[in-house]
Structure 1
Amino acid sequence: MAGGPTKGWRMRDGRARARRRKPAPIGPPALGAGLITGAADDDPSGIATYSQAGAQFGYAMLWTMPLTLPLMVAIQLVSARIGCVTRRGLAANIKRDFPPIVLWAVVGLLLTANTLNLAADIAAMAQAVHLVAGGPVGLYAAGFGALSLTLQVYMRYQAYVRWLKWLTLALLAYVAVAFTVEVDWPALIRETALPGLALGHDALLMIVAVFGTTISPYLFFWQAALEMESGHDGRPRSGAGLRAQLRRIRADTLVGMTFSNLIGFFIILATAATLHADGGAAIQTSAQAAEALRPLAGDFCFALFCLGIVGTGLLAVPVLAGSAAYAVAEAAGWPGSLDARLDKGEGAAFYAIIGAATMGGVALCFTPLDPVAELFWAAVCNGVIALPIMSVMMLLASRPKVMGAHVIGPCLRLAGWSATGVMALVVVAMLATL
């Protein structure tokens, strides 16, 4: 009996402490799928596009970054919300609610575009290392492909995501580059707020390229898949627990997409202040952008740019291969997860798709295909496929039978359809310029 009051006091004190305990603030530990997805958007092919924009048009292309940011945030929020609420990836949801021809058309285009993008990114990483250290480009390409594949297959998902978060720091190299060169700040502010760009054929084509590299379908599939995977952590996915997850997703996606577009802004800025100011160098790959910067900005700036290419490539390659694997596995009805253990016989088909996509990209590096052509056709595929996928995502996210009580609200619905409408204009412009 003597212990009774003490025990009761401890229980009451514990309940009081629990009531006083505040929710953990959203900080770095809460950042994950949105941050990684946004950083992966600035892959070597994206770096090449932003470098072309800065070198060819100078500060006059900076306005595209603040314009695309709200569109990018809206559509990535929709994809992440679908993955979180339904606990299915995009392909699984499309399979359940749309005819098979829609499903396989989307998955086929995604796989083609991702493989071409993989080839361009792996080649750019290999060329960047060659610029710094010399040596065989083909060997570097094979090494990067093998490294990425090994990490995806044999590293546990949670540890893998932690490493991907650290790789996003490589993108800060482009911020450093911008602050090591001379910038015309009045022109920067003027062209960002009130661009004086004449919309001729070349300018329109560049705007299409910037939109295509900023809003890409593989990012939709990847973020939805990562939010689906986060359900493996044992946290509740109903009631207050689900609402907390959706709040985290909003913050994570806003930070990730802002980070992505800010880096794109600084890449355009750095190349505008150097290459365009020097006469507008012809830039076709991210490695050429790095090489062109060396005589103008110095060896330190050149080394930072190369570091960013390799770091973003290591981040983007698993995103490209992983998003393709999720899409194909879900469409075929195969089990697939980055948490699967191949040594225990789990996820063999899923990892086979990752291997095929990654090694297919490596193989294309050894063909006579023009890397610029690869980037172009990858952009075409991404632009064409983005429009129907965005439309399908908006329909899915608005259906109560899919989302239950968590259908998207009127503000996000308006923003998402606005992004879809803008992408429709971009696709029409792309087809017209062909």
Structure 2
Amino acid sequence: MDVRDDRRTGILKACLDRLKSHPLAKVGPGLITGVADDDPSGIATYAQAGAQYGLAMLWTMPLAFPLMAAIQSMCADLGRVTGRGLAANIKAAFPPFVLYGVVGLLLIANTLNIAADVSAMGEVAELVTGINRHAMTACFVFATLLMQVFIPYHRYVHFLKWLTLSLLAYAAVLFTVHVPWHQVALRTFWPNFTPDASSAVVIVGVFGTTISPYLFFWQAAEEIEDMENARESAPLVRDPGAAPTELRRIRWDTWRGMFYSDLAAWFIMLATAVTLHVAGVTRIDTAAQAASALRPLAGDFAYALFAAGIFGVGMIGVPVLAGSGAYALSEALDWKEGLERRVADARGFYAIIAVSVLLGLVLQYSPVSPMRALFISAVINGVVAVPLMAVVILLVSKPSVMGDFTAGWAVRALGWLGTVVMGVGAMAMLAAH
């Protein structure tokens, strides 16, 4: 090896050390989970709320934040304390029909959601590059699949963390347009809309895409992945001395990640409210349509930022959707699971990921439209979320499950409030259709 090779090796090592020491590299699963919540189908929902109602729906985000953060925090605690994922804990504490009913519906909803997400990514790619959307969709699908299957979790997770910066695109859009900040502040905390079937569907859609069952399974599973990756760690029921530090970390990481997610959703809603709604564009069916509609109203820069955000969150959202289903079914069937494992050691786990993502691709060529798939997914998520949230709260309240680390009354109260809100919302959505 000559001097130049030594220099190149030194530079590469220094770059890797800088990346590892960057504050973003130190955040936990909460940030990735939060950004995955704002997947392309979620962006479409928030964009529709802003386009249809202007500033009138901004209040949904401050209300949703503590509810989503509480339930995700409980899921994270459950995984770190017990060393088992959500499905494994449900299997141990509830009858089999509860487990298999929830996991089956989760897999169906996730696959339909993947189909809607990759369709949106392909559509945006066609707008930006001119290349056929189906070809671009296939590229995105195989890229996400190859990364999940062949890159170990401890490396793959760094890639996901850097992709979380894509949500900043929606804040940047606001610098390109006029924003009436006084009215924005007022409507963020004081609703002003006419309650009817149409507004009920939009509100339910916002809460349904913000508090999603697949995130519950993912958050618990990734706490376990992080724990096992830190070789000397053990579940807190076996290592109670680490509990104060770990539970404090989880609380900070989860609430921060959910706040970032919630704020980004608020930015999306606001950006479309002050552009599309003001211009009379009140119907948005896909995230790509929102990006396209922005171009003549806010310019190429705003359009490019919005499109870039869709790409970034899609590359996070699709793996999380596929991975959460794989964790859930693998735990239910007692298969080896984990993104840190090699394919040969967890064939069933990776097969579920592959089938979910490839089915999402196949649906692009079926008579089922992406928007129809998204609606069916939203209905299933609405049905699953309510009993699943109740199950999570019951699990983290049991000393037989959590030992000395049962959830406090405040977070449980927020969890039950979120369950009621989601229950009322699901009934309203079903009644409206």
Structure-1-length-normalised TM-score: 0.92
Larger Rg: 1
Per the alignment, residue 188 of structure 1 pairs with: 184
**Cα distance, 1:157–1:69 mapped onto 2, change above 3 Å:** same
Superposed, which structure 2 residues align to 1:293-372 within 5 Å? 293-342=294-343, 345-372=344-371
Per-residue displacement from partner, 1:216-242 (whole Å, max 9, x unpaired)? 000000000001112211243412313
Per the alignment, residue 233 of structure 2 pairs with: 236
Give the deviation of 1:198 after TM superposition.
1.0
Paired AA for residue 282 in structure 2: A
Per-residue displacement from partner, 1:240-285 (whole Å, max 9, x unpaired)? 3132111110000011000000000000000000000001332100
Cα distance in 2 between the residues matched to 1:323 and 1:131: 30
Per-residue displacement from partner, 1:351-397 (whole Å, max 9, x unpaired)? 00000000010111111212211111111111110001101111110
Superposed, which structure 2 residues align to 1:14-93 within 5 Å? 28-93=24-89
2:164 to 168, 171, 186: 168
Of 277-286 and 34-43, the range deviating more from structure 2: 277-286
Cα distance in 2 between the residues matched to 1:369 and 1:131: 22
**Structure 2 residue matching 1:406: 3-state secondary structure:** coil
Per-residue displacement from partner, 1:43-70 (whole Å, max 9, x unpaired)? 0000000000000000001000001000
Paired AA for residue 234 in structure 1: R
Q: CA RMSD in A?
A: 1.3
**Structure 2 residue matching 1:179: 3-state secondary structure:** helix
Cα distance in 1 between the residues matched to 2:123 and 2:233: 46
Per the alignment, residue 270 of structure 2 pairs with: 269
Per-residue displacement from partner, 1:10-42 (whole Å, max 9, x unpaired)? xxxxxxxxxxxxxxx995444120000000000
Per the alignment, residue 281 of structure 2 pairs with: 280
Cα distance in 2 between the residues matched to 1:106 and 1:418: 21
Cα distance in 1 between the residues matched to 2:375 and 2:349: 28
Paired AA for residue 205 in structure 1: V
**Structure 1 residue matching 2:365: 3-state secondary structure:** coil
Cα distance in 2 between the residues matched to 1:193 and 1:246: 31
**Structure 1 residue matching 2:285: 3-state secondary structure:** coil
Superposed, which structure 2 residues align to 1:139-154 within 5 Å? 139-154=135-150
The question of whether the paired residues in 2 share the 8 Å contact of 1:36 and 1:168 is answered with yes
Per the alignment, residue 97 of structure 1 pairs with: 93
The question of whether the paired residues in 2 share the 8 Å contact of 1:336 and 1:350 is answered with yes
2:216 is the counterpart of 1:217: no
Cα distance in 1 between the residues matched to 2:232 and 2:427: 43
Per the alignment, residue 121 of structure 2 pairs with: 125
The question of whether the paired residues in 1 share the 8 Å contact of 2:24 and 2:161 is answered with no
The question of whether the paired residues in 1 share the 8 Å contact of 2:24 and 2:162 is answered with no
Of 65-74 and 186-195, the range deviating more from structure 2: 186-195
Cα distance in 2 between the residues matched to 1:302 and 1:134: 15
The question of whether the paired residues in 2 share the 8 Å contact of 1:334 and 1:350 is answered with yes
Paired AA for residue 59 in structure 1: L
Per the alignment, residue 14 of structure 1 pairs with: none
Of 359-368 and 215-224, the range deviating more from structure 2: 359-368
Paired AA for residue 326 in structure 1: Y
**Structure 1 residue matching 2:340: 3-state secondary structure:** coil
**Structure 1 residue matching 2:404: 3-state secondary structure:** helix
Superposed, which structure 2 residues align to 1:393-432 within 5 Å? 393-432=392-431
Percent identity, aligned pairs only, is 53
Paired AA for residue 346 in structure 1: D
Structure 2: stretches of 5+ with no match in the other structure: 1-20
Paired AA for residue 386 in structure 1: A
**Structure 1 residue matching 2:125: 3-state secondary structure:** helix
Per-residue displacement from partner, 1:391-423 (whole Å, max 9, x unpaired)? 111111011111111111111221211211221
Paired AA for residue 336 in structure 2: P
Give the deviation of 1:149 after TM superposition.
0.6
Cα distance in 2 between the residues matched to 1:305 and 1:26: 26
**Cα distance, 1:137–1:176 mapped onto 2, change above 3 Å:** same
Structure 1: stretches of 5+ with no match in the other structure: 1-24
Give the deviation of 1:121 after TM superposition.
0.4
**Structure 2 residue matching 1:282: 3-state secondary structure:** coil
**Structure 1 residue matching 2:233: 3-state secondary structure:** coil
Question: Which contiguous aligned blocks of 4+ residues in structure 1 show a shift greater than 3 angstroms?
Answer: 25-30
Of 188-197 and 285-294, the range deviating more from structure 2: 188-197
Structure-2-length-normalised TM-score: 0.92
Give the deviation of 1:168 after TM superposition.
0.3
Per the alignment, residue 204 of structure 1 pairs with: 200
Per the alignment, residue 18 of structure 1 pairs with: none
Cα distance in 2 between the residues matched to 1:409 and 1:336: 30
Cα distance in 2 between the residues matched to 1:190 and 1:169: 28
Paired AA for residue 412 in structure 1: V
**Structure 1 residue matching 2:124: 3-state secondary structure:** helix
The question of whether the paired residues in 1 share the 8 Å contact of 2:25 and 2:161 is answered with no
Per the alignment, residue 18 of structure 2 pairs with: none
**Structure 2 residue matching 1:380: 3-state secondary structure:** helix
Cα distance in 2 between the residues matched to 1:97 and 1:190: 45
